[in-house]
Amino acid sequence: MLIAGNWKMNTDLPTARQLASAVVSSVGDPNPVRVAIFPPMVSIDAVFSVIHGSPVLLGAQNVHDGEYGAYTGEVSAPMLRSAGCHYVIVGHSERRQHFGETDETVNFKIASSRANRLVPVVCVGETLSERDAGREKQIVERQIRAGMKGVAIGSGLEMVVAYEPIWAIGTGRTATPEQAQEMHALIRKILIDLFGKTSGSDIDILYGGSMKPGNAAELLSQPDVGGGLIGGASLKAEDFAAIVAAAVKAV
Ligand code: PGA
């Protein structure tokens, strides 16, 4: 079980330090649930200093697929690894929507993350019109199979998938536990097909999209929901702590 806080383009340096330190104080040591935070790039190093030595893990929100070179403004997997990152979010719907990411760029980014010992948190999910047209399963299956093309893993701990229905992100509208479970079960089947029974069964499949203290327990109790990718509610230390507590109860 993994609870991941995606801060998106929020927090300046002092706020990032404060929020990270509040997360550290609220997480038990040791903790039965993995907890990770994903601050903006500019605060990665400062947040690493705050959480270092605690069970809270660090992640970045994006990565370039190359290693070094003339790519102004980009940050690579070796850089993230050297800054203390364990995870990196790949293919978030906001990056697909606003920054032109495709299944192919997602595939390159997963490969580079894996080559540099970062655990990719691969985001998939359908739009509202795709769901209304009954195409949500087809879309998610395509995103996973194309994103994971040629990718190998040694164990389920080396990969995370996040199912984030786009119509539920930042909207206050959440998938029902049944809708989440139905899609997570399909994702589980695809992952077992791609990576084998053992690794495919061990990959955490997170739900993301308006998860908050009031709905976390029910979503996290679904058999194939292995955690949450939390946006808005991860910016309030108390709400994030309440979701972590719900996850601890669910394991
Ligand atoms: P939200 O964002 O919790 O604010 O809906 C989730 C995400 O985009 O990762």
211 in contact with ligand 1, CB cutoff 6 A: yes
169 in contact with ligand 1, CB cutoff 6 A: yes
User: Rounded CA gap, 93 and 36, in Å?
Assistant: 19
Which is catalytic among the residues 92, 94, 130, 136? 92
Q: What does each of the 251 residues of the chain score in pLDDT, given as a tens digit?
A: 999 999 999 999 999 999 999 999 999 999 999 999 999 999 999 999 999 999 999 999 999 999 999 999 999 999 999 999 999 999 999 999 999 999 999 999 999 999 999 999 999 999 999 999 999 999 999 999 999 999 999 999 999 999 999 999 988 888 999 999 999 999 999 999 999 999 999 999 999 999 999 999 999 999 999 999 999 999 999 999 999 999 999 99
pLDDT at 173: 86
Confirm if 201 and 240 have CB atoms less than 8 A apart: no
* 3-state secondary structure at position 1: coil
- Whether 98 sits among the annotated catalytic residues: the reply is no
pLDDT at 172: 85
Taking the centre of ligand 1 as the mean of its atom positions, its distance from the CA of residue 201, in whole angstroms, is 25
Q: Which tokens is 145 given? A: 């199979």
User: Rounded CA gap, 17 and 13, in Å?
Assistant: 6
Global pTM exceeds 0.95: yes
170 in contact with ligand 1, CB cutoff 6 A: yes
With 0-12 / 13-18 / 19 or more C-beta atoms within 10 angstroms meaning exposed / middle / buried, residue 31 is middle
Query: CATH fold of 6-237, please?
Result: TIM Barrel (3.20.20)
Q: Which tokens is 70 given? A: 């003339």
Nearest CA to 50 out of 13, 78, 75 is that of: 13
Which neighbouring-strand residues pair with 89? 121
- Whether 92 sits among the annotated catalytic residues: the reply is yes
Q: Which atom of ligand 1 is nearest to the CA of 169?
A: 5
Give the residue extent of every domain in the chain.
6-237
